[in-house]
Amino acid sequence: MSKIGTSKRGKLNDKIHAEMREIALRRHPHCVCCGRSDGILQGGHLIPKKSSTAVRYDLLNVFTQCKNCNFLHQYNQSIFTEFFISSYGAEEYLDLVARSKAKPKPIKIGELEQILETYKKINERFK
């Protein structure tokens, strides 16, 4: 069995998440929780990707977080949730939560490749 990140699917996941991080950094060049813009900035998932694969690749679920806030989000989601609601509204938040609870359909390799190409094109527009 392949290690995570070494299979074709794993490599595509890694590439997609790298593109998503770049999109998140363009939208918010600082941590949306604490405001830091130095250090390691990551693409943090409001709804953790491990708890819901249904919104794993949803750009509305990924925002810039510093490494510390991304780690702490596992234990205290309130600051991240408050940011989202103040920026996008409670209705959008409830919609994202509802979509996260939907039974995910298996994503084929071709679909992952399409997602990657879409996100690459978004990033290329801003270069």
Tens-place pLDDT, residues 14-47: 999 999 999 999 999 999 999 999 889 999 999 9
Tokens 């595509």 found at = 12
Q: Find out whether 66 and 43 touch, Cβ atoms under 8 Å.
A: no
- Give residue 4's pLDDT band: very low, low, confident or very high (50, 70, 90): low
Q: Find out whether 46 and 80 touch, Cβ atoms under 8 Å.
A: yes
By the 10 Å C-beta count (0-12 exposed, 13-18 middle, 19+ buried), 5 is classed as exposed
- Between residues 39 and 112, the one the model is more confident about: 112
pLDDT score of 75: 84
Tokens 């990551």 found at = 42
Closest CA to 46 of 7, 20, 26, 11: 20
Tokens found for residue 36: 């830091």
In the chain, where does DSSP find H-type helix? 8-27, 67-72, 78-88, 90-100, 109-125
